[in-house]
Amino acid sequence: MTTVRTRFAPAPSGAIHVGNARTALYSWLTARHHGGAFVLRIEDTDASRVSEEAVHLVMDSLRWLGLDWDEGPDVGGPHAPYRQSERLDIYREHASRLLSEGRAYRCYCTPEELEQRRREALAAGRTPGYDGRCRTLTEAERAAFEAEGRPAALRFAMPERGFVVHDLLKGEVRFAPGSLPDFVIMRSDGSPTYLLAAGVDDLLMGMTHIIRGEDLLASTPRQLALMEALGATTFPTYAHHPLIVGPDRQPLSKRHGATSVEAFRERGFLPEAMVNYLAILGWSYGDRDLFTLSELVELFDISRVSRNPAMFDVQKLEWMNAHYIQQLDDDELAARCLHALTAAGLLPEPSLVRRAMPLVRERMKVLTDAAPLLRFLFTDDVEPDERAATVLTGAPEGYLEAAAAALERVEPWTAANIAAALDVLAQGAGLSRTKGWQPVRAAVTGSTVSPPLPESLELLGRERTVARLRAAVARAR
C-alpha cells in the first residue's frame, strides 16, 4: 500500500494568510489521518518576493498551530533540499532533458511582441494565450535570432489533446484540446517557473495527494503533462478546495481586517481555536463545531470538504476562542495571558496574574482582553477615563475620603470584608450597592468596568487601594 505523502509549499513574502494556513491544515490532517508523511517545501525561486524573515515567520506560525512536518528545510529528509532556491540545478537538468527530447523548445518572443499579440487576440475576440510561433521555427530562423542575440526562454510543448483532471472535490474537470497553450518552464534569465519547479518537485518527492486552492486548478493539466513527459506513470491525486471569502462574498483580503495567522495570534486567539475554526471552514462532520486536534486527525476526510466558498466569520471564531479559553485551567490561562499583558506595556507579576484569572476568564473572548481588565493591577497610572471621571465628579462630597478611611480599617484584607465595608459605606450615603461602589471602582481602576470589585481590591492590596482613593480626592481639589 502506497504511503500517503502531502505537502505544503508556500512562497513566503510575509505572514501566512489564513487561507494558506487552512490549506496547510487540510494537507497535514490528510497525512496524519492516513499515517503518512507531511512535507514542508519552500518555493523561494523568486528572490524579489521571498524574504528570509518571511520563511521563518511561516514556519513559526505553522508550529504555533501545532502543525509539524516530517521533511522540510530545517529537518531534512530523503528528498532534500526542501528550498527551491537550492534545487535550481535539478530544474535545469529536467528542462534540458525536455528540450533534448523535443518536449520543449526555445522561445525568442520578446515581452513587447507577446503583449502586442495578446492585444490583437482580445481585439479579435480570441482567448489570449501563446500562439506557438516559436514552436515551428526553422533552423534558419532560430539561427537568425541567436545571431541577433535575442534571449530565449524555454517553453513546454503541450500535447494537442484534451486533459481530464480527476479532482476529489470537483470531480472530472475537462480541458478541451487546444485550450492549453504552451507555457514557459525556464525564463530567459535561467530561472525556473512555478509550473516547472512545482511539477518536478511533486514528482521527485513522491507526492500522492496535492491539496490546494481552486485558483491553481488551471495549472494542474499543465503539470500533469509535464510529469508525463518526464516519464511519470502514476500521478498525484488532486483536491482543489474553494477559497475563503469575506462577508461581501469576495476572496478574503486585508480589506476585511486581520487575514494572517500572525495577526490573529497577536489579537489573542488561541491556536486550538484557530485550528478548529479553519478545519470547519468548509469541512463538516455531522452537526458538531468543536473538535480537538486529535479528533480532527481521526475524523478528517478531504472528500467531505464543501465545493462552495466558505465565509470567514470573526464572531464565530471569537465564540470558539472564548470556549477554548474557558477550557484552560488558571495556571495555563495565566501563562498565555502574560504575552498579551507585556505587549500592552505592562509589567505583569506571574503569581498575581494567576490569582486574577478566576475574575476575568468569563469576560474574555481573546487573550488581549486581559490587558484592559487587569491594567489597574500592574500599573499605578490609573488616570480615570471619560466615563470614570464623570462618576467621580458625581460622587457625594467626602465619599472617597470616607471610602479610604473605611477600607484602611478592614482587617483581615479579604474580598468578603471589603464588600461588607463598601456596603456599609453605600448604605450610609443612601446609595445602592451599584451606585455606591462605582466611585470606588472609578478611582481605583480608572474605569467603570473591571473584574468584581472586592476581589479586585483584595488583589491590589490595602496600601495601593487607599493610596488611589486619596489620589482621586487630591485630583478633585
Looking up cell 476585511 gives 256
Q: pLDDT by residue (tens digit) across 324-383? A: 999 999 999 999 999 999 999 999 999 999 999 999 999 999 999 999 999 999 999 899
Q: What is the arrangement of strands in the sheet containing 237-241, beginning at the earlier edge strand?
A: 171-175, 163-167, 237-241, 209-213
Confidence of residue 2 (pLDDT cuts 50, 70, 90): confident
Copy the grid coordinates of residue 33.
489521518
Question: Is the confidence at residue 255, as pLDDT, over 80?
Answer: no
CA angle 56, 61, 63 (to 5 degrees): 95
Q: How far apart are CA 200 and CA 177, in angstroms?
A: 24
Looking up cell 478633585 gives 476
Judge if 87-241 and 386-476 fold alike in CATH terms.
no
Q: pLDDT by residue (tens digit) across 275-329? A: 999 999 999 999 999 999 999 999 999 999 999 999 999 999 999 999 999 999 9
Q: Does the predicted model carry a pTM greater than 0.75?
A: yes
Q: Give the whole-number percent of the chain exceeding pLDDT 90.
A: 91
Q: pLDDT by residue (tens digit) across 152-176? A: 999 999 999 999 999 999 999 999 9
CATH code linked to domain 386-476: 1.10.10.350
- Own/partner contacts of 414-419, CB < 8 Å, gap of 24 or more, are 414/458, 415/452, 415/454, 415/455, 415/457, 415/458, 416/454, 418/453, 418/454, 418/457, 418/458, 419/453, 419/454
Of 170, 254, 316, 435, catalytic: 254
Q: How far apart are CA 82 and CA 44, in angstroms?
A: 10
Find the helix or strand (DSSP H, E) in which 438 lies: helix 433-445
CB-based contacts of 217: which residues, under 8 Å, 6+ apart? 165, 167, 170, 173, 240
Average pLDDT in the 190-212 region? 97
**pLDDT, averaged across the chain:** 95
Comparing CA positions, the residue from 388, 391, 394 lying closest to residue 376 is 388
pLDDT at 254: 67
For the chain, what are the domain ranges?
5-84+244-311, 87-241, 328-378, 386-476
pLDDT at 48: 81
pLDDT at 367: 98
CATH 3.30.70.120 holds for 87-241:
no
Average pLDDT in the 197-202 region? 98
Comparing CA positions, the residue from 379, 360, 267, 356 lying closest to residue 18 is 267
Kindly give the interhelix angle for 271-280 and 52-65, rounded to the nearest 10 degrees.
Answer: 90
Confidence of residue 1 (pLDDT cuts 50, 70, 90): low
Q: Per mean pLDDT, which range of 48-62, 163-177, 180-194, 246-260 is the poorest?
A: 246-260
CATH class of 5-84+244-311: alpha beta
Average pLDDT in the 420-428 region? 97
What's the Cα-to-Cα distance from 123 to each of 89, 93, 127, rounded to whole Å? 41, 39, 10
CATH code linked to domain 328-378: 1.10.8
Copy the grid coordinates of residue 170.
470537483
Q: pLDDT by residue (tens digit) across 88-120? A: 999 999 999 999 999 999 999 999 999 999 999
- Ordered DSSP codes for 313-378: -HHHHHHHHHHHHHHS-HHHHHHHHHHHHHHTT----HHHHHHHHHHHGGG-SSGGGHHHHHHHHH
Q: pLDDT by residue (tens digit) across 24-80? A: 999 999 999 999 999 999 999 987 888 899 999 999 999 999 999 999 999 999 999
List helix spans (H) across 230-308.
261-266, 271-280, 293-299
CB-based contacts of 131: which residues, under 8 Å, 6+ apart? 117, 121, 181
CA angle 203, 207, 210 (to 5 degrees): 110
435 contacts 442 by C-beta, under 8 angstroms: no
Q: Is 254 a catalytic residue?
A: yes
